[in-house]
Amino acid sequence: MTDATHPLCQEWHQKIQTCSDLQALDEIRVHLLGKTGLITTELKTLGQLSPDERKTKGAEINAVRDSLSTLLSEKKEELEKNALELRLQTEALDITLPIRPEKKGNLHLLTQVLGDIQSYFRDLGFQVVEGPEIDDDYHNFDALNIPVHHPARQNHDTFYIKDHPLRLLRTHTSTAQIRTLEVQKPPLRIISIGRVYRSDALDATHTPMFHQLEGLVLEPYTHMGHLKGCLTDFCRHFFGVDDIKSRFRPSFFPFTEPSGELDINCSREDGQLKIGVGNNWMEILGCGMVHPNVLKNCGINPDEYQGFAFGAGVERLTMLKYGLPDIRALYESDERWLNHYGVGSVNL
């Protein structure tokens, strides 16, 4: 008797073929092949037979078992495939549907500016890094060559964390210089954009929280010329004016030597500020060559590497670019303002 004509086969082949769900199929499998299943029980009866009978009966049952288990696994595969198809169909998203008007959201002006700055520097091979907003005295001051009694500390109106005298809200993103150099070896080019905090006034040009853009380039032969070129090109891109003029004015920061402020040209005719035209100057950011002490604090030999750093207020850049007279507008969440300056993410 061949397996297919065995009564067990005939009966169960049909049941398996017509089975339409995975759980029922598994119940059939247990019923036939489980520990106390039909086939297993049949196999157990072999012991009572004569050796000759056992041989033929044994082969017969084994053939039935093989045939049924092949069929079971084929059916299982088929049902699983169908279930997956069904899931894919029901869970599919129709991305061709239009956006629901009530779900319209805009990217805030600052978000647009941050994205623009990041992609500009990324294209130049800069890595974008992030650091903690709650930092410590060491990263915000000491490592940046601002020791405890240095007068520069007084210029930073620092928010200290209650009951943690050495913990503070970072007052500038220059902390990113230290945090990066602690974990990465030069040569490197990084920028970092993030929130900084100063216990300042709240008026048209100050908020206790604002954003800074920090840049650091550390390579064997970096010099002030690279710094000027890098920043002037950035200003040209950012303000969309091809021939912006720039100049350095000497300044002081404990963590750069020499230090400078970068001015760009502008005109203020009829009370209207225009960037990149005219013969007036406007201060735009602070910068300089990284101070050798900062490099030493991070275990870098200043004779091997030298670099430049710069720091700019993102709100200030944004206000200049878009002609905003009051920084507070950026945080007031006035819906009319948001709709005016916001850009839908799909339109970017």
- The verdict on 287 binding ligand PHE (CB under 6 A) reads yes
Give the C-alpha separation, 213 to 199, whole Å: 19
Which residue pairs from 121-127 have beta carbons closer than 8 angstroms and sit at least 24 positions apart in sequence? 121/191, 121/215, 121/234, 124/189, 124/230, 125/189, 126/189, 126/190, 126/191, 126/215, 127/188, 127/189, 127/190, 127/191
What CA–CA distances, in Å, run from 203 to 208, 229, 331? 10, 34, 12
Q: What track of x and - describes contact with ligand PHE for positions 183 through 222 (by CB under 6 A)?
A: -------------------------------x--------
Query: Cβ(191)–Cβ(173) under 8 Å?
Result: no
User: How deeply is 266 buried, as exposed, middle or buried, from its count of CB atoms within 10 A (0-12, 13-18, 19+)?
Assistant: buried
- The verdict on 309 binding ligand PHE (CB under 6 A) reads yes
Q: Which is nearer to ligand PHE, 141 or 341 (CB)?
A: 141
Closest separation between CB of residue 346 and ligand PHE, Å? Answer: 35
- The verdict on 67 binding ligand PHE (CB under 6 A) reads no
Q: Which is nearer to ligand PHE, 19 or 314 (CB)?
A: 314
Tell me the pairing of strands 164-169 and 134-136.
Answer: antiparallel
- The verdict on 310 binding ligand PHE (CB under 6 A) reads yes
Among 194, 254, 307, 311, binds ligand PHE (CB under 6 A): 311
Q: Which is nearer to ligand PHE, 12 or 234 (CB)?
A: 234
Nearest residue to 69 (alpha-carbon basis) of 31, 113, 36: 31
Q: What track of x and - describes contact with ligand PHE for positions 255 through 274 (by CB under 6 A)?
A: -x------------------
Q: What track of x and - describes contact with ligand PHE for positions 105 through 144 (by CB under 6 A)?
A: ----------------------------------------
Residues that bind ligand PHE (CB under 6 A): 172, 174, 214, 253, 256, 286-288, 309-311
